Amino acid sequence: MASLDDYRVFVAIVEQGNLSAAARHLHRSLQAVSRSLQGLEQELGVELIQRTTRRAQPTAAGLAFHARIKVALADIDLARSELAEHGARIDGRLRIGGSTQFSAPHVVPVVAAFMERYPDVDVELVVADQHVDLQREKLDAAVRLGELPDSRLHARQLGTLRMVTIGAPGYFARHGRPRTPADLRRHACIVRRSTHDAQHWSYRRADKRRRVEVQGRFSADNAAACNAAVAAGLGVGVAALWQVRNLLDQGRLETVLDDWQLPALPVYIVWPPGKQLPARTRAFIDFAAARWMAEPPG
């Protein structure tokens, strides 16, 4: 019989686009992901995913099933969070880590809703630009953006954030607009040094993939600084849509290469390995997963 993990694997395959990407996001082997999908399809008696060498395309039945099962998984996560109230007392202090920019608009509202549900829990939010050591900082859990390095931490993916290619209208008036990823080679590009492989930007459109080496005169190790540099007309950049939506609405930035897709930025919640989780920590993890599945951030 299919397990909840098998259903989560199926949802990840649909949302990540192929089995390999799903395996990376779930921190599981490709073989384990493939077995889960095969077992689920055999049990249901219907093909959910059409596989090719490069892509995993959901069938019509798969798309319909994904829409229903995603909501069901969110309901299960929320039910587990609510059940914790009856199985153990949810109280005490919870220390949650988050990044500087993402915490205020996206982590705090989840924390506020959680505290409303569990009035005996106090929450301390520890905000930092860099990833901190959870055990050294005595954090119960942390919300992190981007692919996770190999570690002993437990992790659960909450969702993904859309990435866009951006530039200032004045810059485009002077230098033209890139029409294809290859055009970026002749543009000044804003490089965020703190990201992995920062000088290579990868794009996808249907089955076409392009990886472009970029360079420019300005770089920084902070997303807000890079976005400000783009708005100042120093070059073309890439950013999470939620970070620059206001600048786009104000007309200070414009998107380009809209028909080419950048890899989505995953959002995870991580927690230390070891002994059984306190009830308040487990309740928060399930609550955050249910909240963001129903209302994705960004």
pLDDT at 214: 93
Asked if residue 112 belongs to a domain, the reply is yes
Residue 74 structural domain = 4-80
pLDDT at 100: 85
One domain, residues 17 and 66: yes
Coil, helix or strand at residue 136: coil
Rounded Cα–Cα distance for residues 122 and 135 (Å): 19
Asked if residue 134 belongs to a domain, the reply is yes
pLDDT at 81: 60
Question: In total, how many domains does the chain have?
Answer: 3
Asked if residue 106 belongs to a domain, the reply is yes
Neighbouring C-alpha atoms within 13 Å toward the C-beta of 293? 26
One domain, residues 149 and 135: yes
Q: Which of 21, 54, 80 is the endpoint of a domain?
A: 80
Burial of 284 (0-12, 13-18, 19+ CB in 10 A): buried
Q: Which amino acid is it at 288? A: A
pLDDT at 148: 76
One domain, residues 176 and 244: yes
pLDDT at 275: 61
pLDDT at 276: 72
pLDDT at 251: 95
Q: Which amino acid is it at 183? A: D
Query: CB neighbours of 44 closer than 8 A, spacing ≥ 6?
Result: 2, 65
Would you say the C-alpha torsion 65, 66, 71, 77 has a positive or negative sign?
positive
One domain, residues 22 and 39: yes
Q: Which amino acid is it at 134? A: L
pTM (2 d.p.):
0.67
User: pLDDT truncated to tens, each residue of the chain (298 aa)?
Assistant: 778 888 888 888 888 888 888 887 777 788 888 888 888 888 888 888 888 766 778 888 888 888 888 878 877 776 766 665 555 678 889 999 988 888 898 999 999 999 999 999 999 999 887 777 787 888 999 998 887 776 677 888 888 889 999 999 999 999 999 999 999 999 999 998 877 677 899 999 888 889 999 999 999 988 889 999 999 999 999 999 999 999 999 999 999 999 999 988 888 898 887 667 888 998 999 899 888 877 776 6
| CB neighbours of residue 106 within 10 Å | 20
Closest CA relative to residue 144, chosen from 271, 291, 281, 42 = 271
If phi over 0 gives left and psi between -120 and 50 gives alpha, with beta otherwise, what is residue 200?
beta
Asked if residue 276 belongs to a domain, the reply is yes
One domain, residues 135 and 211: no
Q: Which of 18, 48, 80 is the endpoint of a domain?
A: 80
Asked if residue 223 belongs to a domain, the reply is yes
pLDDT at 53: 62
Q: Which of 80, 110, 129 is the endpoint of a domain?
A: 80
One domain, residues 30 and 59: yes
Asked if residue 261 belongs to a domain, the reply is no
One domain, residues 169 and 152: no
One domain, residues 116 and 234: no
One domain, residues 195 and 276: no
